[in-house]
Amino acid sequence: MGDDREQVRSVVEAYVAALERDDGAGACAQLTPAAREELESSSGMQCREVVTRLDQQPGAIAAIDIAAVNAQVDLAGGDTAFLARESEGWRIAAAGCRPEQGKPADRPYACEVQA
Amino acid sequence: MRKLHEHSLSIGFGVLFLATLVGQALVGHADFNHDQVAHQSDTVSLGRYVTSSPFWVDVMENWQSEYLQFTLFILATVWLLQRGSTESKELDKAGPETDEQQRLGEHVSPDSPTWAKAGGWRTHLYSNSLLLVMAAIFVLSWLAQAVTGRIEYNARQYDHQEDGLDLVSYVGTSDFWNRTLQNWQSEFLAVGSMVVLSIYLRQRGSAESKPVGAPHSATGVEG
């Protein structure tokens, strides 16, 4: 569990840092293959070209919760990221997520990047 | 060999339990990975699966209901009766019974358990030990179901980009109560079935059956 927490933290921090320096390839490397594919098919562009242009407000990590092979990370800028544990390690399955109409537990967040 | 024979019931069911737990781990792992692939996620190893909440919630939800079944059945059969059933005491013996019937106080024998002979709080505690232990295992396994069930539930929530819940909130969810009640209904059905079927049906040689020739009205008789 401690290892998982550290991995989740480093993946999200790497993603946020890549966005801040406008490094699309670096940000895409933290996404799951399914999230990258969805982003590319919905935008018609390469992941590295579109990911830094999305409406994302990340910021520092405010909270991490890990549940089995999934995780939720809340960021200080208001965004939430959802991660999945892949064979090569934790990766971001959805990013730039914000709750719709408050914070109900039974409605999905609206996400800029989503598998 | 004789020891094996004298303990064959516990050994037999111990082996069955271990074999089916291993079987559950294997098919549960395959089922979990099938779902992972369907959600475009990667599969997990067997070792990872059997140390995860998705496996343990499935184990605990079943354990808690079995121990609840025994707790309630042990408690109920002190006072409640069923004419003709092997699962009931005789009709004139409802309640905790006398010290003479329970072989306590001046009615203990040299081979009575130590705490049955001790008197005082030890005998009082020992007199309720079966119920207390069954109830304790029920409570602990139900708590374990809640803890692991919340993690498994939150994993599914996060997979769908939804919020997770804390433990108190999770215990109020339909997910928790669906797992709980689907197990409870089958336990109570099983006990009820045994109580009623043992009135009219027989299994020659079984400790759970009346002798084949015993009348339907014979209560609290096993053969």
Please tell me the predicted confidence (pLDDT) of residue A104: 63
Q: Using the 8-state DSSP alphabet, how is residue A109 labeled?
A: P
Q: Which residues of B touch A94 (CB under 8 A)?
A: 161
Which of B87, B23, B85, B83 lies closest to B55, judged by CA? B23
Min Cα–Cα distance to chain A from B82, Å: 47
Position B38: which residue type? A
Please tell me the predicted confidence (pLDDT) of residue A101: 75
Please tell me the predicted confidence (pLDDT) of residue B146: 98
Instruction: Scan for tokens 């990340």, then name that residue.
Output: A58
Mind listing the domains of chain A with CATH numbers? 2-114 (3.10.450)
Q: CA B14 to CA B3: how far, in whole Å?
A: 15
| A107–chain B Cβ distance below 8 A for any pair | yes
- Stretches where chain B sits below pLDDT 50 are none
Q: In this complex, do B164 and A67 lie within 8 Å of one another by their Cβ atoms?
A: yes
| Assembly ipTM | 0.94
Please, what sign has the CA dihedral across residues B73, B77, B78, B80? Answer: positive
Which of A98, A93, A106, A107 lies closest to A39, judged by CA? A93
Instruction: Scan for tokens 């059956």, then name that residue.
Output: B209
Please tell me the predicted confidence (pLDDT) of residue A106: 73
Q: pTM of the entire structure? A: 0.91
Q: What are phi and psi of B51, to 5 degrees?
A: -105, 15
Please tell me the predicted confidence (pLDDT) of residue A103: 62
Q: In this complex, do B151 and A70 lie within 8 Å of one another by their Cβ atoms?
A: no
Q: What are phi and psi of B185, to 5 degrees?
A: -60, -40
Q: Which residues of B touch A8 (CB under 8 A)?
A: none
Q: Which two tokens stand for residue B112?
A: 């009575």
Could you report the per-residue pLDDT of B55-105, keeping only the tens digit for each? 999 999 999 999 999 999 999 999 999 999 999 999 999 999 999 999 999
For an interface test with A, give the residue of B49, B161, B176 to mutate (most A CBs within 10 A).
B161
Q: CA A87 to CA A77: how far, in whole Å?
A: 29
Please, what sign has the CA dihedral across residues B156, B159, B160, B166? Answer: positive
- 10 Å CB burial of residue B32 (0-12, 13-18, 19+) is buried
Q: Using the 8-state DSSP alphabet, how is residue B105 labeled?
A: G
Q: In this complex, do A65 and B43 lie within 8 Å of one another by their Cβ atoms?
A: no
Could you report the per-residue pLDDT of A85-95, keeping only the tens digit for each? 988 899 999 99
Q: In this complex, do A69 and B157 lie within 8 Å of one another by their Cβ atoms?
A: no
Beta bridge partners of B161: none
Please tell me the predicted confidence (pLDDT) of residue B211: 94
In our burial notation (b when 16+ CB lie closer than 10 A, e otherwise), range B168-185 reads eebbebebbeebbeebbe
Residues found in chain A: 115
Query: What's CA B67's distance to the chain center, in Å?
Result: 3
CA distances from B165 to A5, B3, B4, B126, B198 (A): 18, 51, 49, 41, 45
Please tell me the predicted confidence (pLDDT) of residue B40: 81
Min Cα–Cα distance to chain A from B166, Å: 11
- Stretches where chain A sits below pLDDT 50 are none
Which of B159, B163, B165 is nearest residue A70 as measured by Cβ atoms? B159
Q: Which residues of A touch B55 (CB under 8 A)?
A: none
Please tell me the predicted confidence (pLDDT) of residue B64: 97
Q: CA A42 to CA B148: how far, in whole Å?
A: 37
Edge-first strand listing for the sheet containing A61-67 = A61-67, A70-75, A80-86, A89-98, A110-114
CA distances from A40 to A33, A45, B118 (A): 11, 5, 77
Q: Which two tokens stand for residue B181?
A: 């009640």
Residue A35 contacts by C-beta under 8 Å, 6 or more apart in sequence? A91, A92, A93, A94, A95, A113, A114, A115
Q: What are phi and psi of A46, to 5 degrees?
A: -65, 145
Q: In this complex, do A68 and B43 lie within 8 Å of one another by their Cβ atoms?
A: no
Min Cα–Cα distance to chain A from B150, Å: 9
Q: CA B75 to CA B63: how far, in whole Å?
A: 18
Instruction: Scan for tokens 């979990």, then name that residue.
Output: B32
Q: In this complex, do B154 and A99 lie within 8 Å of one another by their Cβ atoms?
A: no
